[in-house]
Amino acid sequence: MSNPTARILEHFEQINSFPRCSKNEARLCHWLQQWAQDRHLAYQCDDEGNLVVRVPASPGYDGAPTVVLQGHLDMVCEKTPDSPHDFNKDPIVSHREGEWLTAHGTTLGADNGIAVAYMLTLAEEHGPAHPALDLLFTVDEETGLNGAKCLGPDFIQGRLLINLDSEDEGVFTIGCAGGVDTHLVLDGQTEAVPDNAAVYKIVVGGLKGGHSGIDIHKHRGNANKILARTLAHIRSKSALGLMMLNGGSRKNAIPRDAQALFWVEAAQHSWIEDATRQMAAIIKTELAANADDFFIQASPATDTAGDRKAFSHRDTERAIEVLLALPDGVARMSADMQELVETSSNLATMEMVGNRLCIVTSQRSSIMSRLDEITAAIHSIGRLAAAHVQDKEAYPAWQPAMDSELLKQCQDVYRRLYDREPVIQVIHAGLECAIIGDIFPRMDMISLGPTLRNAHSPDERLHIPSITKVWDFLVELLARMKP
């Protein structure tokens, strides 16, 4: 294959032509089945939409163990506020910026479309030599590893698994955090907005966002928390009534934008814009280098027709207090691994729907008892605020196996190719390896991938030279598995 990187990127562009937000991967899955049929490859699709394509061994590799290559079909669909992109129908439009590939105002979808592109390229008729391969394409990963949770115990044949969902070339991931999402619902009493009220809108924006696990320690600011603090600052000077509250869009993304609509007595509103500017200055100092594009804007809302109901003062207080109290960010660093976040929480989304405020938090930890601890604290806060609280989408941690034979083989190949040691890490994010390891207890697993930055945000970008290095590594690793 004369230029494998170009071929990988061609496949990636094909993948990005299909809308594939979580739970909307069916068209891409059908295309992959047709791709397999055209190459006379056996495949199987389960009721959830997970797909495995079985690629026969190259000549001379018939006695080698089957290798599972795995990635997920869905992507996080985030865009800038001014982007007209429709994730239900529009393809992702990518472009190069030097050595990087990025998209126009949207997530790029390299998480995890690049894994799919690698697998298609490896399985091509004139591709590199390899043992038998199970190409495992899972669905609905980004909303809770849900596709992997439904894999049947006989769905894949191999017991060596290479997950292609890591984001730093030269880094091998051998463990990950477990996680759980908690939903809180506050029922409030709504009242008519007084005719003589002053109605204001506050918008928080310009934050960097990012992955709520990988980027949680990078001091990027959470728009939901910042908006809650701003409302609390205003509330300290005047009672107010919340008419609208909205922030964040994905449970696994740090919120970049949030907004609120509220009323105060008309005679008391003149200082609100000054108070908001004061809070913006405080937050900019806290965010330091991450504050370049950050803003908080307060402005009179002149058009509120059809939206003249608000939470009572009492329930507005409840809403603000619970948002202030909910934990957000790093809760604890690992005692065993330097610079590893052990436990964290992300105040992911909030939305007023009628007389309800719906909040979602996402907790992660590499120690399951610590995950239970921080989740119990969130439950306590919810109960104190008389909220309905429910956990959803839980998944276990993947405990590292330092004696893994696959890890040793990967280390040896990497040393020989690049004359340096690869980095071995455990990450503060969920990987499907944790689920797959539960279903297939004897699975020897590792996770790797090309360099990706700012996943789960419109700033997502993929380092093109690293694509080539990962390709060369995979080719050499598979070639060495000849019996």
CATH of the domain at 24: 3.40.630.10
Q: What is the pLDDT of residue 86?
A: 97
Q: Which residues are catalytic?
A: 74, 141
What residues make up the domain containing 71? 4-177+397-479
Same domain, 364 and 407: no
Q: What is the pLDDT of residue 186?
A: 98
Same domain, 390 and 268: yes
Q: What is the pLDDT of residue 457?
A: 86
Same domain, 58 and 147: yes
Q: What is the pLDDT of residue 192?
A: 92
Same domain, 209 and 61: no
Same domain, 160 and 254: no
Note the pTM of the prediction, 2 decimals: 0.81
CATH of the domain at 368: 3.30.70.360
- Which of 395, 411, 441 delimits the end of a domain? 395
Q: What is the pLDDT of residue 352?
A: 96
Q: What is the pLDDT of residue 259?
A: 98
Same domain, 123 and 265: no
Beta bridge partners of 446: 162
**Token duo for residue 179:** 């996680």
Q: Name the nearest CA neighbour of 50 among 169, 131, 147.
A: 147
Same domain, 184 and 154: no
Same domain, 136 and 149: yes
Same domain, 162 and 205: no
- Which of 395, 414, 430 delimits the end of a domain? 395
Same domain, 279 and 314: yes
Q: What is the pLDDT of residue 456?
A: 86
- Which of 395, 421, 446 delimits the end of a domain? 395
DSSP sequence for 304-353? -TT--EEE-HHHHHHHHHHHHHS--EEEEE-SSSTT-EEEEEEEEEEEEE
Same domain, 262 and 289: yes
At residue 347's C-alpha, the angle toward residues 342 and 350, to 5°, is 160
Helix, strand, coil share (%) of the chain residues, nearest 5: 30, 30, 40
Q: What is the pLDDT of residue 1?
A: 60
- Structurally, how many domains does the chain consist of? 2
pLDDT along the chain (483 residues), means of 10: 90 97 97 97 97 97 96 95 94 96 96 98 89 98 92 95 97 96 97 90 95 93 98 91 94 94 84 93 96 94 74 96 98 91 98 96 96 98 97 92 95 98 94 95 96 92 98 97 91
Same domain, 358 and 405: no
Q: What is the pLDDT of residue 9?
A: 97
